[in-house]
Structure 1
Amino acid sequence: MNTAQARIVIEAALLSAAQPLSMADLRRLFDDAIDPAAMRELLAGLRSDWTDRGVRLVELAGGWRFQTAPEVAQFLARLHPEKPPRYSRAVLETLAIVAYRQPVTRGDIEEIRGVTVSSQVVRTLEERGWIEVIGHKEVVGRPELLATTRQFLDDLGLRSLDELPELTDPSAAVPSGALVEALAAVAGAKPYAGGETGASSPPEMPDPEVLALAPEPGELNDNAVEPVPAAEGNAP
């Protein structure tokens, strides 16, 4: 199989995949006959082929995928005017602390935020696939240690946590809205999720406007997700 044919196979696999494909997945297409270095050359060539199109090939923490170019998001949004959920201040601040200070316990989060972290807030982030328990801290009670997931990086279009925007003061506690700014900086790239049928579907990644901090009725009884009224013209 020549280079052109190999690119066609890789392109077809990536366009039909519902999730990013790892290097191991891509090499499996050819029974591992193509080594990692050669595979990266093929991917680089394929990425170059799609540079000036509405869909781009990118590398994320979970592997490689096609995603729509940021400049076409406002047009695609007209096909899917529904907004995703609006996450509350409590959810976003908790996620920010986990992202920038991980691994952390709920006690660590409460110390930084200065309020009790409700179970619903943590459950919301776990159900979204953005945080997970990775172990227990060796102290009295052995509290759970929380960290972000690979899904969190993939949804933000990042390869690693190093690509999160730097905090103004790394030594300070994560400020209110820090993650909102971080998400806004990277949320321009929307995933292309073709699935087995090849038909695109709107991504679930919240856009910067939706991630604006929602008002809190009370910190000790935070609503984890607040409904958003229907509106048009917002990217999914």
Structure 2
Amino acid sequence: MNDETGEKSAGGVGTLFEAPPLAEQERMVEAILFAAQKPQTLREIAARMPHGSDPGAAVEQLRRRYDGRGVRLVKIGDAVAFRTAPDLGFLMSREVEETRKLSRAAIETLAIIAYHQPVTRAEIEEIRGVSVSRGTIDLLLELDWIRLGRRRQTPGRPVTFTVTPAFLDHFGLESAKDLPGIKELREAGLLDNRPMPGSLGARGDGDGDETDAGDEGDEEQDDMFD
């Protein structure tokens, strides 16, 4: 390959000064995504490809090629990645082990953040009607399902929380707009018939002292999230 003249190699791949054919770009994108440990944005893909390439077109062509197959190219936030087709997820059940079961408090906190983001800790507590333990927040941060957002321009400048691309990826969502409604959650058996946090009748009895097991007393110590 002669980089100075911009000639093509025998395999049909262009030089750094000439974009290869779209079919070859598609192969490059496929290789990048296959080897990537996390979803890749178009900017990240473009940084690895020859100058002048069109990663957006290559990704779209690759997506169509994998449509209907056992592995699909899916959008996760502003990134893309290969994932098992939803209807074949049961085949992977033996490889998935449930290592940690979220408490009801953690599930409610995660749901509030997902549906109301960006939201502060005080707002989460207002919606739930009870205090949020430090352990609950720490667990969700450790799972990389939530992250710190921008501080509110209000007294004390409290931090906000939002869900992460890892959360969207885990639950097979392209964006938070794809979150299911209350009716869908109940029909899927993922939500019981008790009122959702923040709805009429969902408040506690006024004691406001609900915590996760093993986290008693953490509320007063958690200055980071006040």
Tell whether the structures are fold-level matches, with TM greater than 0.5: yes
Q: In structure 1, which of residues 34, 41, 46 is the aligned counterpart of residue 53 of structure 2?
A: 34
Is 1:122–2:165 an aligned residue pair?
no
- Rounded to whole Å, the distance in 1 between the matches of 2:52 and 2:57 is 14
User: What CA deviation, in whole Å up to 9, does each residue of 1:79-116 have, x standing for no partner?
Assistant: x2522421111001001111111222211111111111
In the superposition, relative to structure 1, how do residues 13 and 81 fare at CA in structure 2: closer, same or farther (>3 Å)? closer
Q: Tell me: CA distance 1:77–1:162, structure 2 relative to 1, closer, same or farther (3 Å).
A: same
The alignment-based identity, stated in percent, is: 36
Largest Rg, 1 or 2: 2
Deviation at 1:162, TM superposition (A): 1.6
For structure 1, which segment, 158-167 or 58-67, has the greater mean C-alpha deviation from structure 2 after superposition? Answer: 158-167
- List aligned pairs for 1:69-80, cutoff 5 A: 69-78=85-94, 80=95
Shift of 1:122: 0.7
Q: 1:107 aligns with which of 114, 118, 122?
A: 122
Q: Which residue of 1 aligns with 2:158?
A: 143
Match of 1:12 among 26, 31, 41: 31
Letter in 2 for 1:85: R
Counterparts of 1:50 and 1:139 in 2: how far apart (Å)? 48
* 2:72 maps to 1:56: yes
Q: Are 2:203 and 1:221 equivalent residues in the alignment? A: no
Q: Which amino acid is 1:165 matched to? A: P
Query: What is the CA–CA distance in structure 2 between the aligned matches of 1:127 and 1:12, rounded to whole Å?
Result: 30
2:76–2:165: 8 Å Cα contact kept in structure 1? no
CA contact (8 A) 1:62 1:154 kept: no
The alignment of Structure 1 onto Structure 2 pairs a total of residues equal to 181
4+ residue runs over 4 A deviation = none
- What letter corresponds to residue 2 of structure 1 in structure 2? P
Greater relative CO, 1 or 2 (CA 8 Å, sep 6+)? 1
Aligned partner of residue 150 in structure 2, secondary structure: strand
- Aligned equivalents of 2:96, 2:175: Cα separation in 1: 30
User: Taking structure 1 as reference, are residues 82 and 33 closer, same or farther at Cα in structure 2, changes over 3 Å only?
Assistant: same
Aligned residue for 1:157, secondary structure, equals coil
Could you tell me the TM-score, scaled by structure 2's length?
Answer: 0.69
Partner in structure 2 of residue 98 of structure 1? 113
- Matching residue of 1:230: none
Amino acid paired to 2:124: I
Displacement, 1:27? 1.5
Shift of 1:58: 0.9
Structure 2: tracts of 5 or more residues without a match = 1-19, 193-207, 215-226
